[in-house]
Amino acid sequence: MSSEDWTAWIGRTEVVEDDICLAQALAAAATLEPLSSPTASAALPPLWHWFYFLPRAPQSKLGIDGHPQRGGFIPPIPYPRRMFAGARIRFHHPLLIGQPARREGIIRNITQKSGRTGPLAFVTVGYQIFQNEMLCIEEEQDIVYREPGAPVPAPVPVELPPVSDAITRTVTPDTRLLFRFSALTFNAHRIHYDRPYAQQEEGYPGLVVHGPLVAVLLMELARHNTTRPITGFSFRSQAPIFDLAPFRLVARFGDNRVELEAQGPDGATALSASAELGSD
């Protein structure tokens, strides 16, 4: 299928409704262990909207990799590998737990490029989330599809140097954490829980830590170390993180911005992010 065929999907829309139920927020809290537990009618923490408005494709409509088959809202791009490469988000008003909300999505752009592993397709998806007819969140996501590449070598752990000008946290990923995050996001992508598939079919040295999980952990590090509201967030994935060794989160606070980074066990930046701070 040519890229010209995919342009018919630009402008395609979908609407998903959700009740922002307390049970899902409590499950997220059990996984992330924030400083306080969510309660009914309280503000949903930033980025936790990713635990709602979930795709619910029937079991028969899943691909071999566990993702929903394409061709509905997402165009039928044939490249088998999929990555949530990045996002840009504005938080206008907090979502309130226990109240219905609506997410409106639109395919904004589809482009094709050539990379080291062959052709790549970039799909940009825009979302607006409303509650009580008020625009609460605007988000733009970048999804990348590509051909299979060469096997990915395991990173060689090094002793990470101390950081004096930042707040850090070391995370040890394991199958329990990855399973819970997959469950929270209703994500059946097998690279996060099926080790033989991840290694033998997709060429990874271990299970892949979800990029959105790393982004959420960085957001949690930022919001637990400031009293100011977070009004914007963006992230870009640069390299995968595996469940083979601990990785480090780094937060550097400026006047109105927090620069965030997830460093793999080899010290390389795996995911970079930035959070914007509002006034108290």
How does pLDDT run across 154-191, given as a tens digit for each residue?
A: 999 999 999 989 999 999 999 999 999 999 999 999 99
How does pLDDT run across 122-159, given as a tens digit for each residue?
A: 999 999 999 999 999 999 999 999 988 889 999 999 99
Name the residue with tokens 């993180």: 241
| DSSP for residue 19 | -
DSSP-assigned beta bridge partners for residue 87: 141, 235
CA distance linking residue 14 with residue 60, whole number of Å: 21
Residue type, 62: L
Kindly report which listed range (42-46, 115-119, 142-146) carries the lowest average pLDDT score. 115-119
More confident residue, 141 or 80: 141
Query: Is 0.85 topped by the overall pTM?
Result: yes
Domains, the chain, with CATH or none: 1-149 (3.10.129.10), 151-280 (3.10.129.10)
Secondary element (H or E) of residue 112:
strand 101-115
CA distance linking residue 145 with residue 124, whole number of Å: 11
Secondary element (H or E) of residue 262:
strand 257-263
Residue 25: is it exposed, middle or buried by C-beta count within 10 angstroms (0-12/13-18/19+)? buried
Average pLDDT value for the chain: 94
Torsion of CA 129, 133, 135, 138, to 10 degrees: 20
